[in-house]
C-alpha cells in the first residue's frame, strides 16, 4: 500500500473525548492547549523550556516526556505516515488512518481540539483481536503520541488497513518477556501496580547488571510506554523492590496546577527519570548504605550502645520528623568526655559532610578519606538517608577491580600460551581480515580473537592442552562477554554465573599452563 510507512499511536484522550470529532472531521487531535502553536518552537529544548514554564509543578521527568510527545506530533510525523487510534467509545476496535496534512494550531476551536493533524481514516472497524499479541502489546503504551516500531509494525498496520488482517512477520516471534511486562504494567489499575525486584526487571531484558547500555535500553522502553519506576531502578541494591508506575500522558488541570508544590516535588523526585539521557558523569547512585540514626533527645549512652551493637564508627543524629543535627563519632565522643564528666549527646554531636545522592562520585573521594564518611541526601534534597564510609568505598572499588585482575591474568595466560605454542601465521589467521597485516604476535589480538584462535582444530592440537576444547571455548566466550560488559562501569557485582565463568576459565588455564 505504501513503500516505507512509519506508524504512530495517537490516542483520543483519557476518556475518548476527542474521538468523535477526530473520526468525523478527519483529524488526529492532542491536548496541551496552553502551549499554543507548536510551530513557534524551533528546537526540542525550546519546547521543553516552554513546557517547564507553563507547568512549573510538573516534574522534569514528566516535562521531558511531554516534550517528546509534542515534538513527534508537531515535527516528526510526516505526510503518508500511518496513525493508529484505539477507540474508547467503540470498545474493542482500532482506527487506522494516513496523515495527509501538516501540523496546525486552531486557536478558535474549543479547548482540547486546537492541536491537530489532518488524517484520512482508512478503517474504523479493525477488531482488537485481529492484531497479533506483539502488536497489541506495542499499542499498550499509555502515551498520547508514540512511534510503533517493533517487528515491522508499520508494514503490518498498512496491511491491516488494506486487508483487515495482521500478517505477523517473518520469524513470527511471540512477545518477549519485556514486552509482556510493559503491557501488563500498562494495564494494571492504579491501586494495584506491578512490583518486582530490580534484578527481575533487568532479567526481563536479558541483562544481569546495570551497565550503561542496559540502563539506556530499559529507560527507552519504559518511556515509549509512558512508564517509569518508583524508586529509580538505577539506584539501590538488585534485591530492592521497584514499582512500575505511569507517567502523566497529558497535563491534568488539577494535578499540574496544584498549590502543594513540596508534595509534588517530593513525589516526582522518587521516580526514575526516563525522559533524559543517563548522565555521562558517574554519580553516587546506589553506593550509599541505608542510614541508622538516633534522635537528638536520647542519652549519649544510648547512642554509644547503638554504635557498639552495630560496630559503627559514626552515627547520624536525626529526629523522627527528619530534622538533621549532625553526627557522633568515637573521636567526638572522646573529646566530649575530655571536656566534661557527663557529656550529653548534643555535646558529642559534630557537623558532618552532607552531599546530594546524585553528586559526582569522584568529587567525594577526598572528603570520604579525610573524614572517614559522608552522609547522603535523599532524591528529595531534604532528608538525610544514606551514608558512605571509607570502608564502603574500598569494598566497592575492590569488588569492581577484582574481575579486572582475574580476567587480566586469564588474558595473559592465553597470550603466553599462543606465543609459546603457535607460530605467527596461526596468530595472524585469528585476527580480523582488516587487521591481519598488523598482527604479528598474540598481544595484538583482542580477547574475542582468542575464541577464533582456539576454535581451529589444528591450532588446538598445537597447544597440547589435555582439556575438552568445547568447554574451554564456552568459557572463553562467556568471559569475553563479561570483559566487554566490565568496560561499562556498573556498581552491581558480577552475577554468580559470570563469576563462575571467570574462575572456571582461570582454573583451566592455570592447570594447562601452570607456570606462574
pLDDT (tens, 9 = 90+) of the chain, 516 residues, equals: 445 679 999 999 888 999 999 999 999 999 998 999 999 998 888 998 999 999 988 888 888 889 889 999 999 999 999 999 999 988 899 999 999 999 999 999 998 899 999 999 999 999 999 998 888 888 888 889 989 887 889 999 999 999 999 998 765 444 457 878 888 888 766 677 888 899 889 988 888 888 777 888 898 888 888 888 988 888 777 888 899 988 876 776 434 444 343 334 334 447 787 776 555 455 666 566 778 999 999 999 999 999 999 999 999 999 999 999 999 999 999 999 999 999 999 999 999 999 887 787 778 888 888 888 999 888 777 888 888 888 877 777 777 778 888 988 998 999 999 999 999 999 988 888 878 888 888 888 888 889 989 999 999 999 999 999 999 999 999 998 888 777 665 667 788 888 899 999 999 999 998 877
pTM value? 0.58
CA distances (Å), 461 to each of 119, 232, 325, 418, 506, in order? 68, 51, 70, 12, 20
Longest dimension (CA), the chain: 91
Task: At 375, list the grid cell.
Answer: 552522609
b (16+ CB within 10 A) / e for 403-436? beebbeebbebbbebbeeebeeebbbbbbeeeee
Paired residues of 85 in beta bridges: 95
- Given a contact cutoff of 8 angstroms between Cβ atoms, the answer to whether 234 and 273 are in contact is no
Paired residues of 241 in beta bridges: 197
Amino acid at each position: 500500500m505504501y513503500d516505507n510507512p512509519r506508524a504512530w499511536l495517537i490516542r483520543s484522550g483519557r476518556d475518548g473525548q476527542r474521538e468523535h470529532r477526530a473520526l468525523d472531521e478527519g483529524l488526529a487531535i492532542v491536548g496541551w492547549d496552553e502551549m499554543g502553536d507548536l510551530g513557534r518552537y524551533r528546537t526540542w529544548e525550546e519546547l521543553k523550556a516552554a513546557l517547564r514554564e507553563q507547568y512549573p509543578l510538573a516534574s522534569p521527568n514528566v516535562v521531558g516526556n511531554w516534550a517528546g510527545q509534542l515534538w513527534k506530533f508537531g515535527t516528526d510525523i510526516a505526510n503518508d505516515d500511518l496513525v493508529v487510534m484505539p477507540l474508547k467509545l467503540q470498545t474493542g476496535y482500532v482506527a487506522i488512518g494516513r496523515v495527509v496534512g501538516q501540523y496546525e494550531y486552531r486557536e478558535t476551536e474549543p479547548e482540547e481540539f486546537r492541536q491537530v493533524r489532518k488524517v484520512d481514516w482508512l478503517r474504523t472497524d479493525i477488531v482488537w483481536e485481529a492484531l497479533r499479541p506483539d502488536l497489541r502489546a506495542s499499542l499498550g503504551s499509555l502515551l498520547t503520541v508514540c512511534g510503533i516500531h517493533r517487528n515491522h509494525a508499520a508494514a503490518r498496520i498498512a496491511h491491516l488497513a488494506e486487508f483487515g488482517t495482521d500478517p505477523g512477520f517473518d520469524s513470527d516471534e511471540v512477545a518477549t518477556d519485556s514486552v509482556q511486562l510493559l503491557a501488563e504494567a500498562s494495564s494494571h489499575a492504579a491501586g494495584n501496580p506491578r512490583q518486582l525486584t530490580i534484578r527481575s526487571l533487568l532479567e526481563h531484558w536479558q541483562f544481569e547488571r546495570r551497565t550503561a547500555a542496559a540502563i539506556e535500553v530499559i529507560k527507552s522502553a519504559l518511556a515509549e510506554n509512558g512508564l517509569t519506576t518508583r524508586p529509580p531502578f538505577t539506584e539501590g541494591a538488585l534485591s530492592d523492590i521497584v514499582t512500575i508506575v505511569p507517567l502523566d500522558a497529558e497535563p491534568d488541570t488539577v494535578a499540574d496546577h496544584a498549590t502543594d508544590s513540596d508534595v509534588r516535588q517530593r513525589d516526582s523526585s522518587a521516580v526514575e527519570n526516563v525522559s533524559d539521557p543517563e548522565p555521562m558523569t558517574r554519580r553516587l547512585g546506589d553506593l550509599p548504605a541505608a542510614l541508622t540514626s538516633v534522635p537528638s533527645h536520647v542519652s549519649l549512652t544510648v547512642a554509644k550502645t547503638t554504635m557498639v551493637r552495630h560496630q559503627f564508627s559514626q552515627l547520624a543524629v536525626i529526629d523522627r520528623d527528619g530534622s538533621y543535627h549532625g553526627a557522633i563519632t568515637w573521636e567526638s565522643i572522646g573529646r566530649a568526655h575530655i571536656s566534661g564528666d557527663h557529656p550529653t549527646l548534643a555535646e558529642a554531636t559534630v557537623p558532618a559532610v552532607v552531599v546530594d545522592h546524585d553528586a559526582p562520585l569522584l568529587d567525594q573521594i577526598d572528603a570520604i578519606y579525610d573524614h572517614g564518611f559522608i552522609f547522603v541526601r535523599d532524591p528529595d534534597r531534604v532528608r538525610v538517608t544514606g551514608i558512605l564510609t571509607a570502608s564502603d568505598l574500598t569494598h566497592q572499588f575492590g569488588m569492581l577491580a577484582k574481575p579486572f585482575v582475574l580476567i587480566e591474568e586469564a588474558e595473559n595466560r592465553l597470550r603466553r600460551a599462543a606465543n609459546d605454542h603457535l607460530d605467527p601465521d596461526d596468530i595472524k589467521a585469528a585476527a580480523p581480515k582488516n587487521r591481519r597485516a598488523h598482527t604479528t604476535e598474540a598481544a595484538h589480538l583482542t580477547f574475542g580473537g582468542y575464541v577464533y584462535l582456539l576454535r581451529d582444530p589444528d591450532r588446538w592440537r598445537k597447544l597440547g592442552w589435555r582439556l575438552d576444547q568445547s568447554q574451554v571455548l564456552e568459557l572463553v566466550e562467556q568471559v569475553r562477554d563479561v570483559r566487554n560488559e566490565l568496560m561499562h562501569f556498573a556498581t552491581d557485582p558480577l552475577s554468580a554465573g559470570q563469576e563462575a565463568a571467570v574462575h572456571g576459565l582461570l582454573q583451566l588455564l592455570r592447570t594447562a599452563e601452570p607456570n606462574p
